[in-house]
Structure 1
Amino acid sequence: MSQVIRQPSPLRPGDRVQLVAASSALLGEDALARLEAGIAVLEGWGLEVERTPLHGRQWGYLAGQDQERRGDLEAAARRGAELLACVRGGWGAARLLEAPLALPARWLLGFSDVTSLLWAQLAQGQGGAIHGPLLTTLAAEPAWSQERLRCLLFGEPLGDLQGEGWCGGSAAGPLLAANLTVATHLLGTPYLPDLRGAILVLEDVGEAPYRIERMLTHWRLGGGLQQLAGIGLGQFTDCDENPAEADRFSLEQVLRERTSDLGIPVVSNLPMGHVAGNAALPLGAWAELDGSSGQLRISSAKQAPPLPR
């Protein structure tokens, strides 16, 4: 990916938001309360949220049959919504890619299982994919994270993110961000964006160190990690077994060993992932990664002009 992707035009007060339930079912009063709290945040920014009846829609563990969940995305294209906001993760979004799915050139917000849709949109050459809070997690985000998302959507500058430098040097390139497990299952499909020269930021949840190592080895065997300009590591929540035995590797040992010999900057402990403080990241935007200072910056100087409305 040698060029940045043109992003949609910044949002304005009065723009419409379409809810998307592409993954697991939204069940229970607590989930509904978290959804309403997230909607309230968007409405507080002056956006008009269409309250699609998604709560309780269910097919097994999914938020409806595939055609119903695909319909959420298609409805946004028909109605001209400027933002598609995913309500939760879990599993199921990748199933929607089995049939042709032309994702609209709109802002698309989510993370975790939504990685499938974010990367598919980018692989189609469409900007607007944001790796960031789901509607059921947005209200629990700290003020700085909510404000970062608002700035991204409304075209205002983004602050730098601070992590921990592991491998020195600096690199610049188009930004990719993903859940490691979901992105690994896109390898070898048409929905994998161009990795060449990209800054890739990864996160995950609930994966043992050996499974993290297995996935990163898969990437190495396919040459994926070797194509990157830099690697950022977000939060790997509940992924460390705290080994007490000598025959176990810790999460940090795995991450360091699988990335340190690539000859590129590596920054860990970035504030993104399955934690409160999940910094919004615009996929396809130009990013700069400093492996010495541990900073990740979105460079406004090299962004392509936004798409016209």
Structure 2
Amino acid sequence: MLNRLVLLQATPFAPAAERFEGAVLFWEELQRPVSRIWNDLHTLRLSGVLDRIAGMVVGLPTEVTPYEGGGQRAGLRDVVLDVLGRRDIPVLAQVDFGHTSPNLPLPLGIRAHVDADNQTLSLLESAVAEG
């Protein structure tokens, strides 16, 4: 869940922003208002994480409530686009991983490629060691 990564940012256990260089950031969120997700994504942006990633994969939102205020309505898509700003990186959304069923396992630490035009996420390495 996104907020777990964000909570680490204020601790000595936070991964250095450089660790995200060229990475695909995948996250999901459940039972939270979109305004909190906006705050969490901005924390990652301000810590330098979002400036280094090569792509983003967003899981299916579960009980994520849109923002409604001042005559405006903002959903998860609006928040992601707002926080990324002019960053030209591929983003896939509504991906079945995390707390959903079916659940696509996403391994950590292997090379991956996101193609938003073709709506694909490709794992470029084996997720398990041979032998």
TM-score of the two chains, using structure 1 as the length reference = 0.38
Check whether the contact 1:265–1:289 (CA below 8 A) recurs between aligned residues: yes
Distance 2:101 2:129 in 1: 30
Among residues 172, 186, 196, which one is paired with 2:8 in the alignment? 186
Choose from 220, 228, 233 the match for 2:53: 228
One-letter identity of the residue aligned with 2:117: S
C-alpha separation between the residues in 2 aligned to 1:276 and 1:242? 26
Q: Who wins on radius of gyration, i.e. which is larger?
A: 1
1:255 matches 2:77:
no
Alpha carbons of structure 1 residues 243 and 305: separation in structure 2 relative to 1, 3 Å: closer
Alpha-carbon distance between aligned partners in 2 of 1:187 and 1:293, rounded to the nearest angstrom: 33
Let me know the Cα RMSD of the aligned residues.
2.4
Report if the CA contact (8 A) 1:259-1:266 is conserved: no
How does the TM-score come out when normalised to structure 2?
0.83
Q: In 2, distance between residues paired with 1:200 and 1:289?
A: 10
Give the residue type in structure 1 aligned to 2:7. Answer: H
Distance 1:281 1:275 in 2: 13
- Residue 8 of structure 2: SS of its match in structure 1? coil
Aligned 1:138-153 pairs, distance under 5 A? none
Q: Distance in 1 between matches of 2:45 and 2:61?
A: 19
Say which SS state the counterpart of residue 190 (structure 1) adopts.
coil
Partner deviation per Cα, 1:169-217 (whole Å, 9 max, x = no partner): xxxxxxxxxx101111112433527111101111010110110101111
SS in 1 for 2:88: coil
2:117 match: secondary structure:
coil
Q: What is the Cα deviation at residue 242 of structure 1? A: 7.1
Give the 3-state SS of the residue equivalent to 2:89 in structure 1. Answer: coil
The 5 A counterparts of 1:31-70 are none
Give, in whole Å, the separation in 2 of the partners of 1:240 and 1:277.
Answer: 22
CA contact (8 A) 2:112 2:122 kept: yes
Give the aligned length: 128
Structure 2: gaps of 5 or more residues: none
| Runs ≥4 residues deviating over 6 A | none
1:41 aligns with none
1:276 equivalent in alignment to 2:101: yes
Match of 1:211 in 2: 36
Q: What is the distance in 2 between the residues matched to 1:180 and 1:297?
A: 22
Question: Is the contact made by 1:202 and 1:234 (CA closer than 8 Å) also made in structure 2?
Answer: yes
Alpha-carbon offset, residue 223 of structure 1: 1.1
Q: Deviations over 1:222-257 (max 9, x none)?
A: 111111011111112111237486144222211222
- The secondary structure found in structure 2 opposite 1:253 is helix
For 2:80 and 2:106, the matched residues in 1 are separated by 21
SS of aligned partner of 2:92: strand
Counterpart in 2 of 1:240?
Answer: 65
